[in-house]
Amino acid sequence: MLTLEDIFKSFKLPLTEKRKKLIAEAYEFAESAHDGQKRKSGENYIQHSIATAITLAKIGMGSKTVAAGLLHDVPEDTAVTLSELEKNFGKEIANIIDGITKLGKIKLRASREEYFLENLRKMFLAMAADIRVVIIKLADRLHNMRTLRYLPPEKQQRIARETMEIYVPIANRLGIGEIKEQLEDLALQYLNPRDYENVKKLRTENYQKGEKYLKQAIKELKKELKKSGVPVIDIYGRAKHLYSLSLKLKRYDMDIARIYDLVAVRIIVPEVADCYEALGIVHKKYHPMVGRIKDYISLPKSNGYQSIHTTIFGPDGKILEVQIRTQKMHDEAEFGIAAHWIYSEREKMGWKKFIFKPHGDKVPKKELEWVRQLRDWQKEIGRDDEEFVEGLKIDFFKNHIFAFTPLGDIIDLPEEATPIDFAYAIHSEVGNNATGAKADGKIVTLDHQIKNGQVIEILTSKENKTPSRDWLGFVKTSKAKSRIKRELKKEEGY
């Protein structure tokens, strides 16, 4: 059973008396409002509120957001009204909760595509009004997914699908890997239980086999880094989460031996320069695999992800991936936009203790693209809803389409994108080996213009195929273009 104390313990920000008081008050208010109500699991309702608050505290949200998390179901599910909440907790918290209540009133539409866009629009709309509304919805959904087994199977399917289609992409866009990965694994468990069990079993077996080498590599690398004077904040092994592993396994004919990042050694260092120094030391100790060094620090991924990845021949020649990043890059990968709260808060408080000094100690001027985008959306507050949705359609949905993989993963593409763009968006190898495509189950040509909401399946050949030069004539994404050109060059023997 979760308690108020558990929320305090999960708090990432310094817990001042003022914050503690606010959270304790919100807790007591929520507990008495939900008194006598039970969840489907048979637990007291307040358990759901606490679990939501804990997730928010863990990803580094402030005390107001955590308090709103505790109170988020009060106006919807109890006799207490919003104005009573406002009287007790002020306008800011009441507004957040109002946003959550409104967002909860999404109606199911007949057509799947429409339903998806409607949901996505509402999410973005709420985000524009206050991003905290959406972050609380994510934390709320995480606990609902964790207790999904208590609902009837039909509801489980609907909620799991909605999680994969709406909540996962939003968590991804906000960069909150910590929530995104948990949601994906939980949804997979219901949407494709056979896959889930298979992948879980495969991962456990292989993890056990590799554990010895992983531990040895960590020990050795620790020693070498220390000897060379590279400061290390943390070094540990991480297992790939199940959903991304299941996607990767499908691309590799379920051959787990070909997946090199099943477990990875993660090295967290203070400064960017330390990352490159650490990379040198890793490579001096263990031979790197050719063509597998990825510098996402100089060239961040489109969602802003930064790290250096390299694949090495570790102890006994065992293949291992090593990921090197600063604390700040790590926090941004795990907590996304919430990390910005943490870092700005740290500055205000002059507090250095809870996170090792990150490079520069300041949020860099060149902020991530999504932060800028969200800022722009936030400027829209105060505009009439209708008008704003129109604006969103133009700004955000213009030149954008969303297509689905057969597993329900969403691929964000420019308008008029083709199955080849889709294939390269999944993985270069899928692109290179593409031989045909299906849209909503029907065979289409490779230059087919994908429509919003279509499920696209890429047919690939097992032989090592090369892309066709003709593809360059119709692909829309620069990613596909550059990968095709690169592959053709290789073929011509440059």
Catalogue the active-site residues.
76-77
Starting at the edge strand found earlier in the chain, the sheet holding 308-313 runs 234-239, 263-269, 319-326, 308-313, 294-295
Smallest gap from residue 310 Cβ to Mn ion (A): 42
Pick out residues in 150-179 that bind Mn ion (CB under 5 A).
none
Which span sits near Mn ion by CB under 5 A: 26-34, 70-78, 244-252, 306-314? 70-78
Backbone angles phi, psi at 64, to 5 degrees: -65, -40
Closest CA to 33 of 62, 7, 72: 72
* DSSP character at residue 476: -
Nearer Cβ to Mn ion, position 55 or 323?
A: 55
Which span sits near Mn ion by CB under 5 A: 69-77, 126-134, 206-214, 307-315? 69-77
Which span sits near Mn ion by CB under 5 A: 139-147, 167-175, 224-232, 320-328? 139-147
Nearer Cβ to Mn ion, position 73 or 181?
A: 73
* Rounded distance between C-alpha atoms, residue 465 and residue 433, angstroms: 5
Residue 79-118 contact track with Mn ion, rule CB under 5 A, x = bound: ----------------------------------------
* Rounded distance between C-alpha atoms, residue 401 and residue 410, angstroms: 10
Which span sits near Mn ion by CB under 5 A: 133-141, 256-264, 374-382, 416-424? 133-141
Q: Which residue in the block uniquely carries the two structure tokens 């050109």?
A: 485
Backbone angles phi, psi at 215, to 5 degrees: -60, -40
Nearer Cβ to Mn ion, position 140 or 165?
A: 140
Smallest gap from residue 186 Cβ to Mn ion (A): 15
* Rounded distance between C-alpha atoms, residue 300 and residue 32, angstroms: 47
Q: Does position 141 bind Mn ion by CB under 5 A?
A: no
Nearer Cβ to Mn ion, position 139 or 267?
A: 139
Smallest gap from residue 76 Cβ to Mn ion (A): 8
Smallest gap from residue 73 Cβ to Mn ion (A): 4
Smallest gap from residue 471 Cβ to Mn ion (A): 47
Task: Quickly count: other Cβ atoms within 10 Å of residue 297's Cβ.
Answer: 18
Closest CA to 109 of 349, 453, 348, 343: 453
- Name the closest residue to Mn ion (Cβ): 140
* Binding residues for Mn ion, total number by CB under 5 A: 2
Which span sits near Mn ion by CB under 5 A: 85-93, 135-143, 291-299, 447-455? 135-143
**Looking at 332-418, which runs of residues are DSSP E strands?**
401-404, 410-413
Q: Does position 140 bind Mn ion by CB under 5 A?
A: yes
Q: Does position 73 bind Mn ion by CB under 5 A?
A: yes
Q: How many CA atoms lie within 13 A of 173 on its CB side?
A: 22
Q: Which two tokens stand for residue 434?
A: 């593409």
Nearer Cβ to Mn ion, position 10 or 147?
A: 147
327: left (phi over 0), alpha (psi -120 to 50) or beta: alpha
The residue ranges that bind Mn ion (CB under 5 A) are: 73, 140
